[in-house]
Structure 1
Amino acid sequence: MAKKIAICQSNYIPWKGYFDMINQVDEFVLYDEVQYTKRDWRNRNRIKTPQGIKWLTIPVSAHQFDIISEVEIADPDWNTQHWKTIRNVYNKAPYFNHYGEIFESLYQEANQQFLSEINYHFLSSINALLGIKTPLSQSTEYPSRGDKSERLLSICRQLGADVYVSGPAAKVYLDVDIFENAGIAVEWMNYDGYPPYPQQDGDFVHAVSIIDLIFNTGPRATDYMMMNKEVMR
């Protein structure tokens, strides 16, 4: 059976598509040894409120050319503030009473020094809630050199990958030929076709944090994902 690997920068409480990618592979590598980019998904995500879409942003101390794993948390009380906002927004959601204590504990425990550690904390815990068993590892475990594509290929080789699974945004830079020459096929995630789910507060929005899906649909959350569907192209 072909071994599938995905390599992706860590995100803060990401949307459902991120977790579908994790579920589609045999190992998911958090690629946090690349440059941190401001106003991106590394330290923030969106929730849906009665007033519209709201960003939840972890305040960080980042300098020019810092890699993601070097970025430190700037405000130790960020987790208390985020949980207060989430509780106020979702306290009337159908499954808040079921999952609220779980997420409250996750936020209370989110006191790590570095952003990468915070993201890993939430990713691994939400995986468990969704029944995703894919191992998460860190790119530091697999030394690599070269340009973007060469570094990704090196990690795939070290893991014995037969298939590299990538998000569609990488089509603008990924050198597919070097993967194929190494005997590793490239597959692209396809995020088309997600069904809407019961959601609070106005028009439906797909591109929000997974917590919106969990609080609104509870144990049926994976019914609105692509967990058991073909998602590659």
Structure 2
Amino acid sequence: MIVGIHQPNYIPWFGFFHKMLSSDIFVILDDVLCSNKEERRNVIKGSNGMISLAIPILNKKAQIKDIEMNNQLDWKHRHIYTLQGCYQKADYWESLSPSFIDIYQHSGNKLIDFNLALIELIREHLDIKTPMIRSSEMSGVYGEKNTKIISICKSLGAEIYLSGSGAKSYMNEEAFEDNHIKVVYQHFNHPVYPQRWGTFIHNLSIVDLLFNCGPNAKQYLEKQIIV
């Protein structure tokens, strides 16, 4: 049993869905404090390079599940306009964009609901079947940081915890071993795919792949599964 855990980012990058595809169960970590960056920001590619899209929020010192978006600002229209400017001539903008735009136009005030709606739509397009649950809806989970991750893994009967490679420098692997859980670090080699606007740029939002490659997008993740 491989368990992957990740905070619910805004239109996440490739590695988020690679981890999901590589897991038997994928946990959305939504009952921790908002980092004030990753959950509400990502980058796409336009004619002049990378463009950052950031969601304005109201209550910064709160758990992710309780964060509210500042919808008094016209950010949703601006994000739609920016996405259109970057991808309207991409091969799959016309067929895929209506479902994305619908989420922007009809989402409520909660950041978690908005991000999860987009994540569900993206994983549908990528045909990812991995069960996904929210940590806030799990019972018997306790602690913070490593303790919380171990608690989640034990609750799900995990034999392997699939961790992001960036956590290797501070991961307490002995604590996992003491609980009979093996830590495996995600090995993700970013694929190169057909991309508009000149020189290829890595580590963009997954929407760059979707609008450029459409139904062929999943193959660029499938080739990279190494656990």
Q: Indicate the TM-score class for this superposition, using the shorter chain for normalisation.
A: over 0.9
Alpha-carbon spacing, 1:195–1:140, altered in 2? closer, same or farther (3 Å): closer
Alignment of 1:81-230 (within 5 A): 81-109=78-106, 111-142=107-138, 143-192=140-189, 194-225=190-221, 227-230=222-225
Within 2, Cα distance between the matches of 1:175 and 1:112? 38
Within 1, Cα distance between the matches of 2:210 and 2:84? 13
TM superposition shift of 1:108: 2.3
Alignment of 1:50-69 (within 5 A): 50-64=47-61, 66-69=62-65
8 Å CA contact retained: 1:43, 1:58: yes
Deviations 1:111-154 (A, max 9, x none): 22211111111111111110001121111123433341111111
Structure 2 residue runs of 5 or longer lacking an equivalent are none
- Across the aligned residues of Structure 1 and Structure 2, the Cα RMSD in angstroms comes to 1.6
Q: Say whether 1:27 aligns with 2:25.
A: yes
Within 2, Cα distance between the matches of 1:12 and 1:160? 29
Structure 1 residue runs of 5 or longer lacking an equivalent are none
SS for the counterpart of 2:91 is: coil
TM superposition shift of 1:201: 0.9
Deviations 1:206-226 (A, max 9, x none): 11111110111111112222x
- Using the size of structure 2 for normalisation, the TM-score is 0.93
SS for the counterpart of 1:61 is: coil
TM superposition shift of 1:80: 2.5
Within 2, Cα distance between the matches of 1:173 and 1:32? 21
SS for the counterpart of 1:190 is: coil
Within 1, Cα distance between the matches of 2:112 and 2:131? 16
Task: Give me the identity figure in percent.
Answer: 36
Deviations 1:170-219 (A, max 9, x none): 21332111211211111111122x33111111211111111110111111
Within 2, Cα distance between the matches of 1:13 and 1:164? 24
Match of 1:78 among 75, 79, 89: 75
8 Å CA contact retained: 2:143, 2:151: no
Letter of the structure 2 residue corresponding to residue 43 of structure 1: R
Within 1, Cα distance between the matches of 2:100 and 2:225? 30
Within 1, Cα distance between the matches of 2:131 and 2:225? 21
Within 1, Cα distance between the matches of 2:65 and 2:187? 28
TM superposition shift of 1:228: 4.6
